[in-house]
Structure 1
Amino acid sequence: MFTLTVRDHVMVAHSLPDPFFGPAQGLHGATYVVEAGFERADLDEHGVVLDIGAASEALSAVLGRIAYRNLDEVEELAGVVTTTEWLARWVAEQLAASLDTAGLSAVTVVLREHPDAWASYRLALT
């Protein structure tokens, strides 16, 4: 299995309105380092998993939709508790929808919210 990974970052604000989250219930900021990995069993006719530029641009475009925004006010995220885990899945789904995924078997997104804490989501495509 081959994997190509690209990385970017995004700064957001949000709240996690559930007593489970303690002080994170209130509005706070987060800076996520975001890694997007693309998997395929065999290289394509160009000898790559996916064009690095296309992967980087797609990740940047997805993150641009939420960058410097309060996620509590983003219409498409209304009613969602935007945990790191949930956001990892959302980014993976947005990437899969924005790229030609022919030949890819999975997209894995890792959101690192702290050097010692991160969450990921693997979206199987086949």
Structure 2
Amino acid sequence: MLVAQASALYTLGIRDSIMIAHSFKGAEFGPAQQMHGATYTCDVEFCCPELTPSLNWVIDIGEASNMLSGVLAEYNFKNLNEVFPDENTTTEFMCRRIFDGVARACAGRFCGTIRVKLWESHKAWASYEGAVADYTRDV
């Protein structure tokens, strides 16, 4: 007989990418105050302690991929200064925006935790993680 560990989680991960342009406000950002582009790789992990009964999955991988693609389409090939005119669209900030979009898209279809990891290069990334049960955040 298998016994699940209290902290054990199943995880399903998907990946997509977007290309954006933006600049930052504040001397702390140095040369990034100038308009520049970035190609982000976006990893999203869906985590839950139990598989969906009878299906034995965390979430449908095709459905999850479509949700992420739909969320990223809002930002792909966009100048983020125009999408979020009053914000510094740092990698951390964008992680939360992507999380919010995915959480809204899967409300009622997934109950667990979502982790968004946004890679701005092969060396640097930021992430945001949160629960999506009864997700209702308005952004």
TM-score (norm 1): 0.93
Bigger radius of gyration, 1 or 2? 2
Matched, 1:105 2:112: yes
Residue 118 of structure 1 aligns with an amino acid whose one-letter code is W
Alignment-mate amino acid for residue 98 of structure 2: V
- Residue of structure 2 aligned with 1:60, choices 55, 63, 69: 69
The percentage of aligned residue pairs carrying the same residue is: 40
CA contact (8 A) 1:38 1:104 kept: no
Q: How far apart, CA to CA, are the structure 2 residues paired with 1:53 and 1:123?
A: 22
Offset of 1:5 from its aligned partner? 0.5
What root-mean-square deviation, in Å, do the aligned CA atoms of Structure 1 and Structure 2 show?
1.2
For residues 105 and 99 of structure 1, what CA distance do their matches in structure 2 show? Answer: 10
- Alignment of 1:94 with 2:101, yes or no, is yes
> Is 1:39 equivalent to 2:47 in the alignment?
yes
Q: 1:65 Cα shift?
A: 0.7
Following superposition, the deviation at residue 17 of structure 1 comes to 1.1
- Shift, 1:99, TM fit: 1.1
1:85 to 2:92 alignment: yes
Residue 23 of structure 1 pairs with residue 35 of structure 2 = no
Task: Give the aligned residue type for 2:66.
Answer: E
Amino acid at match of 1:41: P
**Match for 2:101: what amino acid?**
Q
- If asked which structure has higher relative contact order (CA below 8 Å, sep 6+), I would say 1
* Alignment coverage as a number of residue pairs: 124
Unaligned runs of at least 5 residues, structure 2: 1-8, 134-139
The one of 3, 6, 19 equivalent to 2:14 is 6
TM-score (norm 2): 0.85
Secondary structure of 1:49's counterpart equals coil
1:70 aligns with 2:79: yes
The Cα of 1:111 is off from its aligned counterpart by: 0.4
CA distance in 2, matches of 1:39, 1:100: 14
